[in-house]
Amino acid sequence: MPQPDKEHAPAPYRDDSVYRAAYGVSDGLLADHVIAGRSILPGASMVDLALAAAQARQRPCSALKDVLICRPGAAREQLKVEVRWGNSSFTIHERRNLLCIGRLEERESAPKANILMFDVAARGEPVEPRALYADLDRLGYRYGPGLQVIRSVLKLADGMLFSLSAGNHRDCRSETMNPALLDGAIQAVFCLLQHSDRPIRPGGLLVPTGIRRLSIHGSVQGTCFVQVGESALTRQADDVLADLQIRNERGRPLLRIEGLLLKYVPRDFLDKFDGPGPAEPS
């Protein structure tokens, strides 16, 4: 019986594959993402890490789903993380701490979200991005230069249209998405809320804790657009559920986000994660 050609046979996927990454607090995303006085790895970087790990394993990935951020990636000097795969699920760890879990989807399926369709060339009343960042800073979100990706803003009848732009840097791990731009889409939700009749309640913060589904239609790099409207937001007391779409300069969809959960937490929420050992998940 002929034996298979081992030299040309495709390498089997290893379900125990591990992808590793390290982030420093002196520069990069950790330096630019300071929440309530602490350097926190952006939730967008959890998505970037999962996509980078899938690419390292040469796994096709059309979507991530059921992404849950279990605890913030807080760091004082350096944050070292591991992405571990099992079949189509992934977990992200920092030492003994479980940071994030989720699943990978290889085939595209029909969207179920209330996505706001928009025109990237829409006209509206300009809003100064520096004023928006100053407002967010007063709330407790301090974004450094690498994460101040909102370049222009228009106030429309049904929300706000944001132009985002960011260059690649060493903290971009995947080929698919610049995490600074995904973080910019989350910043856009915060900005819209602050210009609504129900802004973020004083004394607390909204933090991203999960995404029901994130569908990938193109590479999110360079310049892109996101529009946020009240019709794409669902309020649950102080929590917010958002559906978003990121488009390129020609209006082509690049990223579809269904069910981004922003959880309202007290300002001292991060205090319990200062210790060296595992704390209760968020």
Length of the chain (residues): 282
Rounded (10°) CA dihedral 28, 23, 90, 246? 0
Please name the amino acid found at residue 148.
Q
**Which sequence spans correspond to the domains of the chain?**
18-270
Task: Tell me the C-alpha distance between 167 and 187, whole Å.
Answer: 17
User: What gap in Å lies between CA 248 and CA 141, rounded to an integer?
Assistant: 26
Please name the helix (run of DSSP H) or strand (run of DSSP E) that holds residue 54, with its range, or none: helix 43-56
SS3 (DSSP) at 261? strand
Cβ-based burial of 160 (10 A; exposed 0-12, middle 13-18, buried ≥19): buried
CA–CA separation, 257 vs 242, rounded Å? 8
Give the span between the Cα atoms of 232 and 113, in whole angstroms: 9
Nearest to 63 by CA among 257, 252, 261: 257
CA torsion angle 145 98 244 155 (round to 10): -40
Looking at domain 18-270, its CATH architecture is: Roll (3.10)
Token digits of residue 105 = 């989807």
Mutual angle of helices 179-194 and 129-139, in 10-degree steps? 80
Instruction: Write down the pTM of the prediction.
Output: 0.88
| Backbone φ/ψ region at 99: left (φ over 0), alpha (ψ -120 to 50), beta | alpha
pLDDT at res. 112: 64
| Burial class of residue 266 in the structure, from the number of CB atoms within 10 Å of its CB (0-12 exposed, 13-18 middle, 19+ buried) | exposed
pLDDT of the chain along its 282 residues, tens only? 444 444 444 444 444 479 999 999 988 999 999 998 899 999 999 999 999 999 998 888 899 999 999 999 998 889 999 999 888 899 999 999 999 999 998 776 666 666 667 888 888 999 999 999 999 999 999 999 999 999 999 999 889 999 999 998 889 999 999 999 999 999 999 999 999 999 999 999 999 999 999 999 999 999 999 999 988 999 999 999 999 999 999 999 999 999 999 999 998 888 877 654 444 433
The residue with tokens 């379900």 is: 15
Contacts of 110 (CB under 8 A, 6+ apart): none
| pLDDT score, position 116 | 65
Residue 203 neighbours by CB distance under 10 Å: 10
Task: Tell me the DSSP string of 127-157.
Answer: E-HHHHHHHHHHHTEEE-GGG--EEEEEEET
CA distance 172 to 179: 6
Tokens standing for residue 184: 């910019």
**Assigned token pair, 176:** 């698919």
CA neighbor of 170 nearest in space, from 18, 77, 31: 31
